[in-house]
Each structure stands twice: as structure tokens, then as C-alpha cells.
Structure 1
């Protein structure tokens, strides 16, 4: 480049000086981000040394991924470079999250026998925005707890059931992608929705009709061990364990009422909902309680 500050460059010279193709320089000039300084007697566009510096800035901004309207904002002084950079960082972060989610979906597909339809569903659900994911959960919870006062017994569970993380993790594991897909399928399951609604209504009315004579933690600990040991609910050992839990006289009718009350709040699908939320929120895993309560229900009816 000449040291003459007054030198003017044709489009071809400007392209050779900058290394930018002639057609790109001409396009940027047509779009107004690189206006000519003047024109020759023959009508050709000419550019001064300031245009050379402007061209370098335009090329840098374009290589960083800014579109021409955004470049125009910077050059016109309507947006500062730092403001535009911050906005672009946010856009890139969002794009990176989408790419990482796609990678997680493909990783999940690569490690299991997935049908084309399952892959399509996984990809569709994993790409939902945080607001769209939350709306699916909110709609389900709102329908489940419709007509139940916020202050009613058990109504507070609605807030917990909405606790979907605002975003899938930046690098969701295959397990988290699977959990989100399963959760989205679960909340459309009519049996699950009916059971959850039944629990919500019963809880809002004050809980089970028959008071529960034992702590849930005790059932999980003691009965869980019996389930693992293969002790049948209708066996002598099962009868002895049930008598220890009841710690009182329960005739056949009282046992049936207690079994019915427990059955209302015992659902593998509902417990699975909490397990899936735990995977997505990275909560510590918990020991399933439903198998132990199913054992108790069967023992009561034996």
C-alpha cells in the first residue's frame, strides 16, 4: 500500500490490498457498509485510506459472525462494539447449547437401539426452549391441580412438580436427554394424569380417610429389606412384619380401609416422575418407596 495518505483505490486495488475478493468488496459497498469516498470521471468507485481501515473492521466483524445489519449499526455508531459483542456472545452461547444438546441426542442414539421415530422425538423435545419445556410441565400441573386452593393440604406439591430446570445442562448426558424425553411422554399418559389428579384431590380434602400408623421411612427401610429378601406379603414372616408395623389391633375392615388409603398415594408412574425430575435437576438419587408400599398393601389385603 502506498504511504500517500491522499491516494485513492479502485475496488480491484482495495481487494488486492485487503485480500478480500472483489465481488465481496463490491457487495459491501452496494449494501452501504463500505461507501466509496468518491467516483472517478468514468464513474468508477474510489476509496481512500480511511475506507481501507473500514474494510478491515467490516471483515473482522463478519468473520466473527455478525450479520450486515449489525455491522451497519456499529459503523453508524448506533451501537458500541462492546454492546454488539455482548449480544453476539449470548447468541453464540444459545447456538452452542443447541449443538451440545444435539450431540447428546446423537450420543444416546449411538449407544442404544433407537428407532427413527424415537430419534425424531428425542431431537424435537431436546431442542425445545426452556420456556417451551416449562410450559409443558406447567400445563400438566395446572390441569392436575385445577380447582384446588393454594392453601389446601397437599397443594404445595404443585410447586415442586413444576421444578424443571430452566435449561438442560450445557452438556446434557445421554441419561438427561432420555429423562427429558421420558418425562415429556409421561405427562401425556392418561393413567398417570388420572392418578396424579386423584392424589391431588384426596390430599386437598385432608389426606387419606384411614390414618397411616407408621412412618414412610420405616416402611422403606424395613419392608424394603423384606422385598429384597423375597419375603412374600402373605407369608408368616410377612404377617409378623405387618403386625410390627401396625402396632395395634386392626380388623379386616380396618385393614381394607388402610390398604385403600395407601393405594391412593402409591403409584410407580408418579414416583418415576420424581426420579426423572431428579435426573434433570441433578438431585441425589433416592431409594424407591413404591415397591415397599405395594408390599404393605398386598399384606393388608392378605
Structure 2
């Protein structure tokens, strides 16, 4: 008897497919692979078509498809290609969720997060892409209102943070911090004030008073120090500060002493809002953009170095000689 007319017992079907007798009986009872006939003693018998259906069923189950969908494929109500495409899309979503959970767990492990922080991190990162965009949209609308400067709004929207499908632990931590930051009303006020001034290209008073040439020189010197990793509180900052202090003192007809250095620091601190700077740094991290030192604000470094240098100079004058 050839394979076309061969009938298989449920035990033989189990040996050929690797499925247990119990599993085959379940599929048979569900109607997915019905027996072709029964023996005189009442035992189920299956033909070659049933064997092939069972092998296809096993393959699709191993790929994660549910039994109801598989039955529709076996009955030719759905094509394998269509089901495979839909299932692949569903798996993409599951993979993104798993990757995000993995990143959250790594952050929790690395930071030693407590239960509340872990719950917050999980809740914020579980937001869908649309919900994350809505969060930022609400921040922009709440910050700038309906009568906002279009240039300021465009500047913020051009750098909308977008958490990738497979974020690093650093990106997850940055997104969580960013989500908390944009909901803070005090930060929104600061952001509006700073963004409007930046979009308008408005110069600080000291920038206008010092002149374009000196300000360009200042940015080059400080950017170079930042790119070289010079610590504003270290001795390596002294040559940079000494050069700048003497240049500014000449322009303002002042003595380059500690009082003048502190005055300069105060003027440059007017341009620096650490929370706004933090927002932009977080956006760079979340979006996976390279944080270029030359694009970082130079005034925080300069103000910090000026105050440190002034304190050092004051201390050296107060310390009696040995």
C-alpha cells in the first residue's frame, strides 16, 4: 500500500511528528486535524493529508501563532503569507517591549533603584510612541502657549526627544528624567524665557558691551578648553582665565582682580540656566546624538572657572608666608 492510501494510528503519527499522543488528541478534538476514519475497534486513523496538516500546525505553533488562526490557515481561509506578516508585526512589538524592559532592568540594577523609582521608570517607559510625543506636545503648548514666538517653538520642536526601539540604559535614564522635567512648571517658565531669547538671537548685556571680537575669542578659548577636557576647577583652567580676564579688564577699563573676576562671573551666569542646559543634554542623549563639546554652553564653564580662580587668588593673598 503506498503513502497516499496509508492510514496512521495516533501512535504512529506521534512517532513521525515528534508530538505527544495527548497533544495530537487535543488537536484532533479541536477540529484542527480531524481523523480520516476509525478502525473497527474505534481507534482514530489519519491519512497523509492529516499528517501534513499536523506538521504544518506544529511549525506554525512553534512560530507562536494561536490555534484559532492556524485552523483558518489549514482551512485555507487565510494564507500563510498574510498570517506570517501579521505575526511578524506582532513580534516586532513584543521585541520592542522586551528590549525596553531589559534596558529598564539594567538601569535599575546599575543605579540600585528602590521600589518607587523602579515603578516610575517602568510606568514612564511603557508609554507608547504616540503617548511620548503627546507628552512633549503638551510641554511645548504649556510652555509657549498660543501666542508664542514661532521661532522659539520651532527650535524646541526641531529637537523633539524620541526614545528608540532598543534604547540603552543611559537613554532610558535620560528619558525618565526628561519626562519628569517637562512636567515641572518652574522649568517651563525658565525654558520659555531662555528659548525666546535664543531664538531671537538676543545678546546678553556683557556680550554687547564686550564686542563681537572679544566674545568670539572667548568662545574659541573656552570651547577649546572644554574639548580638551580641562576642568574649570583645576589648575589647567588658569591660563585661559588669566588671558580672558586681562582682555575683558582692558575693554571695561577695570583692574583684573578678584572683584572684577567675580563681577564677570555674575554677568556670564545671567546667560546660564542649568535646568535648561540639562534639558538639551538629555534630548541629545535620548535621540542618540553625539554630544559635541563645542556645542555645549561655554558660560557655565567660564563662570565656574572665574569664581574658582578668584577664590584661589583671594586665598593666596590671605595665607601668610611661611
TM-score, normalization: structure 2?
A: 0.69
Residue aligning to 2:164: 167
**Compared with structure 1, are the counterparts of its residues 188 and 205 closer, same or farther at alpha carbon in structure 2 (3 Å cutoff)?**
same
Distance 1:81 1:39, change over 3 A: same
1: distance between equivalents of 2:24 and 2:252?
86
Match of 1:182 in 2: 177
Deviation track 1:249-298 (CA, whole Å, cap 9, x = no partner) reads xxxxxxx9xx89983x5311111111111112221213331514756999
Q: Measured at CA, do residues 219 and 192 of structure 1 come closer, stay the same or move farther in structure 2, by a change above 3 Å?
A: farther
Match of 2:89 in 1: 90
The change in CA–CA distance for 1:126 and 1:241 in structure 2 (over 3 A counts) is farther
Which structure 2 residues correspond to residues 211-290 of structure 1 after superposition, within 5 A? 212-213=207-208, 218-222=217-221, 227-228=232-233, 240-243=246-249, 263=270, 266-287=272-293, 288-289=296-297, 290=299
Counterpart in the other structure of 1:252: none
> Could you say which residue in structure 2 is the equivalent of 1:199?
194
Distance 1:223 1:50, change over 3 A: closer
**Counterpart-to-counterpart distance in 2, 1:54 and 1:245:** 89
Do 2:163 and 2:287's aligned partners in 1 also have CA atoms closer than 8 Å?
A: no
> How far apart, in 2, do the equivalents of 1:221 and 1:205 lie?
22
| Aligned position for 2:300 | 291
Ranges in structure 2 where 5+ consecutive residues have no aligned partner: 226-230, 254-262, 308-322
C-alpha distance in 2 between matches for 1:79 and 1:37: 23
Please list the CA deviations of residues 198-223 of structure 1 after superposition, one character each: whole Å capped at 9, or x if unmatched.
Answer: 33456688857969425676544446
> Match of 1:253?
none
Q: Structure 1 CA distance, aligned partners of 2:197 and 2:184?
A: 20
SS at match of 1:148: coil
TM-score (structure 1 length as normaliser): 0.73
**Which deviations, in whole Å up to 9, do the C-alpha atoms of 1:17-48 show, x marking residues without a partner?**
43322332232233332233345678765432
Q: Secondary structure at the match of 1:104?
A: helix
Measure, in 2, the Cα distance between the counterparts of 1:237 and 1:275: 29
Asked if structure 1 preserves the Cα contact closer than 8 Å seen for 2:28 and 2:34, the reply is yes
Alpha-carbon distance change, 100 to 128 in structure 1, aligned in 2, over 3 angstroms = same
C-alpha distance in structure 1 between counterparts of 2:17 and 2:194, whole Å: 71
- Work out the CA distance in 1 between the residues paired with 2:174 and 2:184: 15
Spell out, residue by residue over 1:40-63, the C-alpha distance to the aligned partner (whole angstroms, 9 max, x if none): 678765432211111011011101
For structure 1, the residue ranges without an aligned partner over 5 or more in a row are 248-255
204-213 or 282-291, larger mean C-alpha shift:
204-213
Note closer, same or farther for the CA distance 1:21–1:94 as it changes in structure 2 (3 Å cut): same
Q: Structure 1 residues 43, 260: CA separation in 2 closer, same or farther (over 3 Å shift)?
A: farther
Count residues with an aligned counterpart: 280
Quick one: structure 1 residues 60 and 153, their matched pair in 2 at CA, closer, same or farther if it must change by over 3 Å? closer
RMSD: 3.9
Q: Aligned equivalents of 1:79 and 1:293: distance in 2?
A: 67
